[in-house]
Amino acid sequence: MAAGRSGGPFTILFFDLDHFKDVNDTLGHAVGDSLLRQVTERLNRIVRKSDLVARFGGDEFAVLLPDTIDVSVARNMADKIVEKLGLPYIIDANQVRITVSIGISCYASASSDPETMMMQADLALYRAKEDGRNCVRFHTSDLDRIVRERVTITDHLHSALERNELELYYQPQAELASGRIIDLEALVRWNHPERGLVAASEFISTAEKTDVILLLGKWAFEQTCRQTKLWNDAGIAPAVAAVNVSALECKRAHFLEDVAECLVKWEIRPDQMEVELTESVLMEATQNNCNLVERLRILGLRIAIDDFGTGYSSLDYLTNYPVDRLKIAQELVFGIATNSRNASVVRIAISLADELGIEVLAEGVETETQARILASAGRKWAQGYLFSKPVSAKRATDLLRKESIRYPKNEKAIATGSTRNAA
């Protein structure tokens, strides 16, 4: 780059078109190509004469602002690009709308070569994508640290899968009144060679931002089916074994085929498996007219909405999709006895679910007070430390043989093993 060779200060804006693949898939590549041409023409009208515009293949673009290190100037240009490129395009009688995500790297010193700055702008673009797209993010030193940590965890997770360091734990889901175990939820644990047993909350969020979640999710479903087969053969299987499925897994090309093959391989009835999806996954499926949920139901699997009340909280998908179970988030349950808003949200969710014939299960139940409130609202099922923490397959087998859990009557004893962030 000329600015880099001259040694002068400069700023790089690196961006791409959000969900551009959807344009190609729904309207065809000819429309996609025409959209790219119009974006380029519009971009050239937005930038200054001194700025340089480049297309890096596909739907990726870069704008170089020479002699610019002023953050406000870079921000103004980025906001202008977001606004102008977001206006509708008319292509072959189709009105097409597209949004853009932008990452910005500003010249820091004479050692800031163009290659490093492009990498930094790319990292900032990645952050913009993570933050919901259609936004602008600047590169920071903290972002470098976060990325390094993510790379390290991702690399170690790959090794953990190869070395069989991962293990599934199972948390019972029980009747509030009797403590009878009805179902189990599978939760991954990492037997770290140095740190010991590591809960999913410490690495799953990182895994979900990389392709390693695809390997991890496939492994978890397979292992849950294998263990359910053992319980079936022993005549003690729970009614349902629940498995969490991430947004990336849902988008994987052969996800449904692999699920079907796994069920056949381990001789598992589809209705013995429950797929837990977050509200954000269902919202994205709605926006993209995705038939994921319908196809899962065609396979015969049960569908649960996980952590209800902490995501988008749009209720459209409850009527649009044949959902079997609503899992009220532990954040709501935790404050149900002291926070009137939490109690109101829980009551409304229960009432709506009852009207639609959807089961409701409360997560993170820790005290008898919480259990009594939920029971008085007509709830039958719950999971949390009041009943049992997640346990190994061997311990889960012992609990299934007993068929019920005698939960403690001392709320102080219960609260010492808080379920929050323990999944």
Q: Domain of 172: which CATH number? A: 3.20.20.450
* 409/334 same-domain check: yes
Burial zone of 410 (CB within 10 Å; 0-12 exposed, 13-18 middle, 19+ buried): exposed
Please give the structure tokens belonging to residue 294.
């319908």
Domain membership of residue 420 (yes or no) is: no
Q: Where are the beta strands (DSSP E) in 92-228?
A: 94-96, 100-106, 136-138, 166-175, 181-192, 196-199
* 167/186 same-domain check: yes
- 216-260 confidence digits (pLDDT tens): 999 999 999 999 999 999 999 999 999 999 888 887 878 999 999
Q: Pick from 110, 139, 168: which residue ends a domain? A: 139
* 301/409 same-domain check: yes
- C-beta of residue 407 within 8 angstroms of C-beta of residue 387: yes
- C-beta of residue 128 within 8 angstroms of C-beta of residue 135: yes
Residue for token digits 């190869």?
A: 162
- C-beta of residue 311 within 8 angstroms of C-beta of residue 278: yes
CA distances from 153 to 143, 149, 160, 212, 360 (A): 15, 6, 10, 10, 35
Q: Between 380 and 240, where is the model more confident? A: 240
* pLDDT at residue 337 is higher than 70: yes
Domain membership of residue 38 (yes or no) is: yes
* 60/96 same-domain check: yes
* 212/270 same-domain check: yes
Average pLDDT over residues 132-139: 91
Q: Between 44 and 290, where is the model more confident? A: 44
* 165/108 same-domain check: no
* 102/203 same-domain check: no
CA distances from 156 to 142, 188, 202, 370 (A): 21, 15, 13, 39
DSSP reduced 3-state for 167: strand
* Of 165, 161, 275, nearest in space to 213 by CA: 161
Domain membership of residue 86 (yes or no) is: yes
Q: b or e along 300-334 (b: 16 or more beta carbons within 10 Å of the residue's beta carbon)? A: ebbbbbbbbbebeeeeebbeebebbbbbbbbebbb
* 59/95 same-domain check: yes
Q: Pick from 139, 165, 195: which residue ends a domain? A: 139
* pLDDT at residue 109 is higher than 50: yes
* 290/198 same-domain check: yes
Element holding 278 (H helix, E strand): strand 273-278
Q: Pick from 139, 161, 182: which residue ends a domain? A: 139
Residues 287, 386: Cα–Cα separation, whole Å: 38
* pLDDT at residue 94 is higher than 50: yes
* 74/205 same-domain check: no
pLDDT above 90: percentage of residues in the chain? 49
* pLDDT at residue 402 is higher than 60: yes
- C-beta of residue 382 within 8 angstroms of C-beta of residue 166: no
Rounded to the nearest 10 degrees, how much is the dihedral formed by the CA atoms of 322, 324, 328, 329? -80
* pLDDT in the model for residue 412: 42
Average pLDDT over residues 57-76: 89
* pLDDT in the model for residue 230: 97
Burial zone of 110 (CB within 10 Å; 0-12 exposed, 13-18 middle, 19+ buried): exposed
DSSP reduced 3-state for 308: strand
Please give the structure tokens belonging to residue 68.
């610019």
* pLDDT in the model for residue 420: 44
Please give the structure tokens belonging to residue 85.
């490129």
- 262-277 confidence digits (pLDDT tens): 999 999 999 999 999 9
Task: Specify which of 31-40, 100-109, 135-144, 196-205 reaches the highest per-range mean pLDDT.
Answer: 31-40
Which region among 45-49, 341-345, 357-361 has the lowest average model confidence (pLDDT)? 341-345
Domain membership of residue 106 (yes or no) is: yes
Residues 240, 268: Cα–Cα separation, whole Å: 11
* 124/185 same-domain check: no
Which pLDDT band holds residue 45 (cuts at 50, 70, 90)? very high
* pLDDT in the model for residue 205: 81
Average pLDDT over residues 364-376: 90
Domain membership of residue 422 (yes or no) is: no
Residue 356 is which amino acid? L
Length of the chain measured in residues:
423
pLDDT above 70: percentage of residues in the chain? 89
* pLDDT in the model for residue 169: 97
Largest separation between any pair of C-alpha atoms in the chain: 77
* 390/254 same-domain check: yes
Task: Return the sign of the alpha-carbon dihedral for residues 117, 118, 119, 123.
Answer: positive
Beta bridge partners of 14: 62, 103
* pLDDT in the model for residue 241: 97
* pLDDT in the model for residue 287: 58
* pLDDT in the model for residue 307: 87
Residues 31, 41: Cα–Cα separation, whole Å: 15
Domain membership of residue 394 (yes or no) is: yes
Domain membership of residue 290 (yes or no) is: yes
Tell me the average pLDDT of the chain: 85
State the pTM of this model. 0.71
Tally the domains of the chain: 2
CA distances from 75 to 81, 118, 137 (A): 10, 17, 9
- C-beta of residue 228 within 8 angstroms of C-beta of residue 290: no
* pLDDT at residue 391 is higher than 50: yes
* pLDDT in the model for residue 181: 93
Domain that holds residue 304: 150-415
Which pLDDT band holds residue 69 (cuts at 50, 70, 90)? confident
- 269-328 confidence digits (pLDDT tens): 999 999 999 877 776 666 555 677 888 888 999 999 998 876 555 566 677 777 899 999
* pLDDT at residue 147 is higher than 80: no
Element holding 381 (H helix, E strand): strand 381-382
CATH number at residue 128: 3.30.70.270
Domain membership of residue 191 (yes or no) is: yes
* Of 2, 11, 4, 12, nearest in space to 110 by CA: 4
